[in-house]
Amino acid sequence: MRRIETNGYSLEVGSIIESSFSNLLKQKYADSKKVILVDENTHANCLSYIITNFSELSEAEVIMLPAGEDSKQMELTYSVWEALTEYGITRFDLIINLGGGVITDMGGFIASCYKRGCDFINIPTSLLAMVDASIGGKTGINLGHFKNQLGVFSNPVALYIDPVFLSTLPGKEVLSGFGEMIKHGLIADAELYNAVRDEMLHGETLEEDILVRCIEVKNEVVKQDPKESGLRKILNFGHTVGHVIEGHFLPTLKLSHGHSIAIGMVMEAYISMKRVGLSVSDYEELATFILGQYQLPEFSDEDIKSMLSMLQNDKKNRADKILCCLIPALGECVYDQEVDEQMFLETFMHFKNLQVNLN
């Protein structure tokens, strides 16, 4: 059990059975009603593990949502608020989010807006949620196809990250989580990047030390800048291009978030090489490694035109400039870098031609 210091809540990595969870339930929430929010997958694969091991939850209400990003909308969110109201949940009760990023994002938002804020605990079950989504207080839902358009900054009372749940994940989901782990290395810790790469290339089961280090990177950044007024923006490395790739290919390829971000990182590393001095050898090494793990999607001139137009609408832009994070070296990141449309066009063209060569 590893305890990581945060801004005012409890973050523990390791077996939840040995964590402070049981004591917290017994002490702070003895008289509170408990609600567990799950999706179809965690209802089938994770809920019984929790219920069996924690008798304090024997009378908890369980609310189940359909799995997947499509659930992350107001209609279902509102139906959960109605259910909480029906169960007579007060602001002294507790909501436990047991699931991947959709459940922790959405459940955090639901709890934070219910009666102006009800306590919640996150138990992430996907690798992506463990190393990224569940940490840092970003909660939210989508508005139509605008991702996380509605939300608040709000931290859980406690966050328990138990690798036991990783065995319930399909390979695509694990690969998606690794995308964000690569990012944590690239922006903050070259040694971590090397360790993640070695793990992906040669590892069997994920080393807990690497998981902990990834969580520490995310936690350190959000501790210093909880509301993303500066430093926290480095966590968006790979996301300017990555979000566009994710959105553009959603109807056809359905790339996972981590997969899209991985491709985005290679492209933004390419821009970093052209603009802020990332060495050619470092760029080539990381591009070869990442594109070996995450297939580069094929795209046409028409796709490029559409992606360039999406870039103009990015949430991180200010006063119509496209802002991007770049890495001058492995383990270093600079944010709020203005990149013009021409550079993005050149980058997309480079990877379009690379795609032809890879085939």
With respect to a second copy, which residue has the nearer C-beta, 74 or 201?
Answer: 74
Residue 72 makes CB contacts below 8 A (sequence gap 6+) with: 102, 105, 106, 141, 142
Taking alpha carbons only, the member of 219, 191, 127, 224 closest to residue 331 is: 191
Would residue 218 show up in a list of annotated catalytic residues for this protein? yes
Binding stretches for a second copy (CB under 8 A): 31, 74, 78, 81-82, 85, 90-92, 109, 112-117, 138-140, 143-144, 146, 148-153, 227, 315, 317-319
Rank residues 91 and 254 by Cβ distance to a second copy and give the closer one: 91
Active-site residue among 232, 233, 248, 259?
232
Burial class (CB in 10 A: 0-12, 13-18, 19+), 133: buried
Q: Is 228 a catalytic residue?
A: yes
Min dist. Cβ of residue 138 to a second copy (A): 7
Q: Choosing from 59, 75, 116, 202, which is the catalytic residue?
A: 116
* Active-site option among 56, 69, 228, 332: 228
Is 116 marked active-site? yes
Residue 232 annotated in active site: yes
C-beta of 82: minimal distance to a second copy in Å?
Answer: 7
**In angstroms, what is the minimal distance from the CB of 69 to a second copy?**
18
Output DSSP code: residue 93: S
Nearer of residues 143 and 308 to a second copy, judged by Cβ = 143
The one catalytic residue among 41, 257, 259, 268: 257
User: Rounded to an integer, what distance in angstroms lies between the CA atom of residue 204 and that of residue 207?
Assistant: 9
Q: How far is the CB of 223 from a second copy (least distance, A)?
A: 17
Q: How many residues are listed for the chain in this entry? A: 359
Q: Is 75 designated active site?
A: no
Q: Which residues contact 184 (CB under 8 A, 6 or more apart)?
A: 131, 192, 196, 213, 214, 217, 218
Q: Is 313 helix (H, G, I), strand (E, B) or coil?
A: coil
Please identify, using beta-carbon distances, which residue of 224 and 279 lies nearer to a second copy: 224
Q: Which amino acid is at 340?
A: D
Minimum CB–partner distance for residue 76 and a second copy (Å): 12
Q: Of 239, 246, 248, 259, which one is the catalytic site residue?
A: 239
Task: Pick the catalytic residue from 138, 197, 213, 248.
Answer: 138
Which residue, among 328, 225, 232, has the nearest Cα to 279 in the 3D structure? 328
Measured from the CB atom, the residue of 74 and 164 that comes closer to a second copy is 74
Closest-CA residue to 134 (of 115, 109, 113): 109
Q: Which is nearer to a second copy, 149 or 288 (CB)?
A: 149
In sequence order, the 6+-apart residues with CB closer than 8 A to the CB of 281 are none
Decide if 329 contacts 188 (C-beta within 8 A): no
Instruction: Kindly state the smallest distance separating residue 358's Cβ from a second copy, in Å.
Output: 37
What is the set of active-site residues? Answer: 116, 138, 180, 218, 228, 232, 236, 239, 243, 257
